[in-house]
Amino acid sequence: MSRVGSVWTSAQNVASLLPASQRRALLGIAQLIMLGELAVNRALDNLQLPG
């Protein structure tokens, strides 16, 4: 599991303890982190190293 996967799992666990408005905010932040990871991975996949 990636670090982001761990963040997502932790966010879900904590979110279950929060009121609905705070839960949505926390899960939205976790989703943004996941999207950031996808963007970085795509950039790394497209990176051409000199060689």
Is 35 inside any structural domain? yes
Is 27 inside any structural domain? yes
| pLDDT one-digit tens code per residue, 8-35 | 788 888 888 999 989 999 889 888 988 9
Write out the residue range of the structural domain in which residue 15 sits: 3-44
Task: Write down the pTM of the prediction.
Answer: 0.68
Is 51 inside any structural domain? no
Number of structural domains in the chain: 1
Is 40 inside any structural domain? yes
Burial of 34 (0-12, 13-18, 19+ CB in 10 A): middle
Is 49 inside any structural domain? no
pLDDT recorded at residue 43: 93
